[in-house]
Amino acid sequence: MAKTLIVGACGQIGSELTATLRQKHGKDTIIASDIREGSAELMASGPFEVLDATNFAQLQDVIMHYDIDTVYMMAAMLSGTAEKFPMKAWELNMNSLFNVLNLAKEQKIKHLFWPSSIAVFGPTTPKLDTPQQTIMEPSTVYGISKQTGERWCEYYYKRYGVDVRSIRYPGLISYKTPPGGGTTDYAIEIFHSAVKGEVYTSFLNEDTALPMMYMDDAIKATIELMEADGDKINVRSSYNLGGISFTPHELSEAIKLKVSEFKINYKPDFRQAIADSWPSSIDDSVAQKDWNWEHKYDLKTLVDVMLKGVEESIS
Ligand code: AKB
């Protein structure tokens, strides 16, 4: 049976993708890997390899050893952290991508998923219902790496026939694995404060609208895109994915409907400038048309599931 490798399996998306794919296809066909070992739960759930995504030889060895057919390259440095370590972010985000693109070009892997982000857009992009194809002048290190990555994905598809597929993820919200260094992380931290009865200090202004999505929708999209017939995939850079758009104020009001005593205040930091450069909402009609994309969670269902999940995880 064809095997799949998830690189960055301990991360926010990688951990949930690993769990879902293992449930669907059996634990032995899904090989998890990361730069270091993960939680006891992840380590016990199936095969795991310690692997540096920027090391071509290590990556190739694991791929040959397990006879890997599909790779999800989820290793990346996110927007907030990347602003602090620009060169490290560029090295990780680009070298990890080139390694898998080149392995696919050499036909050592057949299918490749690589995550892009709404960070590919910049201050000159139309902010509302940002279309699939539009002005893209990202002003963050992370955004520049993602936009460059998209260009290379499309190039490898057109020039070498590499079956690479990608999604521009909005801010992803989940309670299972903490996020690491993103600008949209406030929308996760806020739930932890609400459940613990603490006042939450938001690092974004109350009226900063950003596109967001509950993790289950993001995992569903990722798997649906990878399972879609190749002839339906007309975008080989990366697909827009919309989800739900809200501001910190709107999210806090939705939380208050369930936790009436919840309080929030605002102290924007350096991430405000990053958020200001990103779209407020995304048009994902191309994904809808090409592979029937449809999201399930709205703001209310997101708040319900997050409050319940965070409560259970800390009790
Ligand atoms: C981040 O905030 O950096 C990420 C993203 C939108 O790609 N969550």
User: What domains lie within the chain, and their CATH numbers?
Assistant: 3-171+215-227 (3.40.50.720), 173-212+243-314 (3.90.25.10)
Atom 7 of ligand 1: nearest residue by CA position: 117
HEC secondary structure over the chain: CCEEEEECCCCHHHHHHHHHHHHHHCHHHEEEEECCCCCHHHHHCCCEEECCCCCHHHHHHHHHHHCEEEEEECCCCCHHHHHHCHHHHHHHHHHHHHHHHHHHHCCCCCEEEEEEEHHHCCCCCCCCCECCCCCCCCCCHHHHHHHHHHHHHHHHHHHHCCEEEEEEECEEECCCCCCCCCCCCHHHHHHHHHHHCCCEEECCCCCCCEEEEEHHHHHHHHHHHHHCCHHHCCCCCCEECCCEEECHHHHHHHHHCCCCCCCEEECCCCHHHHHHCCCCCECCHHHHHHHCCCCCCCHHHHHHHHHHHHHHHHC
Check pLDDT > 90 for residue 302: yes
Ligand 1 proximity of 79 Cβ (cutoff 6 Å): yes
Percentage of the chain beyond pLDDT 90 is: 97
Binding site membership of 274 for ligand 1 (Cβ less than 6 Å)? no
pLDDT value of residue 290? 98
Compute the average pLDDT of residues 282-290.
Answer: 98
Give the distance (Å) from ligand 1 centre to CA of residue 170: 7
State in Å: Cα 276 to ligand 1 middle.
13
Ligand 1: which of 125, 147, 172 to mutate, judged by most atoms within 8 Å of the beta carbon? 172
Q: How confident is the model at residue 1 (pLDDT cuts 50, 70, 90)?
A: confident
**69 exposure class (CB count in 10 Å sphere: 0-12, 13-18, 19+):** middle
pLDDT band at 179 (very low <50, low <70, confident <90, very high): confident
For the segment 33-85, what is each residue's pLDDT rounded down to a tens digit?
A: 999 999 999 999 999 999 999 999 999 999 999 999 999 999 999 999 999 99
What pLDDT, on a 0 to 100 scale, did the predictor assign at position 2?
86
- Specify the pLDDT at position 275: 98
63 CA → ligand 1 middle, Å: 28
Is-catalytic flag, 142?
Answer: yes
| Better-predicted residue by pLDDT, 178 or 35 | 35
- Residue 287 has which token pair? 């994904």
- The pLDDT value given to residue 180: 81
What whole-number distance in Å separates Cα of residue 109 and Cα of residue 100?
8
Distance CA 166, CA 131 (A): 16
Q: Which amino acid is at 196?
A: K
128-156 pLDDT, tens digit per residue, is 999 999 999 999 999 999 999 999 999 99
